[in-house]
Structures are given as structure tokens and as C-alpha cells.
Amino acid sequence: MSERRKRPTILCLSRSGSRLREIIAHLGETHYETIPVSSPEEAVAFCAANQVNAIVLDSEFITEDGWTVTQSFRMVAPQLPIVLLKPEKIAVIPGGIDAIASSTELILGTLKALLARSEQKKDKPEGRESTWVPLA
């Protein structure tokens, strides 16, 4: 009997209800369990109390000095992949962002790649980095 695998949990942070619905629609209910939140405080608290596999962060949380809620996420979950949804041009991309999706349509592929990379890191023994050298 095969054990049913739990869908990865993706926290979606945006102040816009329509943007949250758009993000969730592109992620698809069959691929991920999506948790929509509209405030950074709620998002960080959820991450601290629950297992989250990745975060989709709307660019509206980036300020002119480059601060984002990513700093708070990194305090409670340092290895958590964070995708910045950046549909408009932003002058400053803050640290702590693992990937950028320029549209909601690109979020699904971006998350799949980040989560696969995250799983590979979990499977490696600690303290051992693999080295890949291209053949000339």
C-alpha cells in the first residue's frame, strides 16, 4: 500500500486579495497547499508555528532602503526558500531572496525548481559538498 505524500505548504504573502487569488490559482490546488496571508506579522508567526516549504512574497513589501520581511523569515526559518513576485521594475533587490518570478504565471516553475534544490540539500550528508567539474 503506497503512502500518500503530503503536498508542500506554500505561504503566499500579499496585501492584495486579488493578487493572492491570482498566485493561488497559478500554483494549483493539486500541487501545493497554499496559505494566503496579508500581513508580514501573520506570515512570520505562521512560519514560526508551522512547517512551511516555501514563501511567495509580493514585491509590495520591499521598501526603498531594501528592507523586506525576509529578515524576519530568516530569523524563524533560515533555510526557507523565498520567491519574490516582481511584476514591476524594482531598483533594489534585497538579500534573503532565493528567486524572482516576474509574473504569477512563472511562480509554479520557480517553486518547483527551488523545492527540488531544497530536497537535494536535505539528502546530502552534512559537511560534504559535492563538486562538479565540467570536462573540457
The strand ranges marked E within 18-122 are: 33-37, 54-58, 82-85, 99-101
Considering the domain boundaries, does residue 130 fall inside one?
no
Task: Give tens-digit pLDDT for 74-84.
Answer: 889 888 999 98
Residue with cell 524594482: 90
Considering the domain boundaries, does residue 135 fall inside one?
no
Q: Has this prediction a pTM greater than 0.85?
A: no
CATH number (domain holding residue 82): 3.40.50.2300
- State how many domains the chain has: 1
What is the distance between the alpha carbons of residues 136 and 132, in angstroms, rounded to a whole number? 13
Task: Give tens-digit pLDDT for 100-111.
Answer: 888 888 888 888
Q: What is the mean pLDDT of residues 45-66?
A: 84
Domain boundaries, position 96: 9-123
Q: Per-residue confidence at 43, pLDDT binned at 50, 70, 90?
A: very high
Is the pLDDT score of 130 beyond 80? no
**Residue 40 DSSP SS3:** helix
Considering the domain boundaries, does residue 131 fall inside one?
no
Considering the domain boundaries, does residue 128 fall inside one?
no
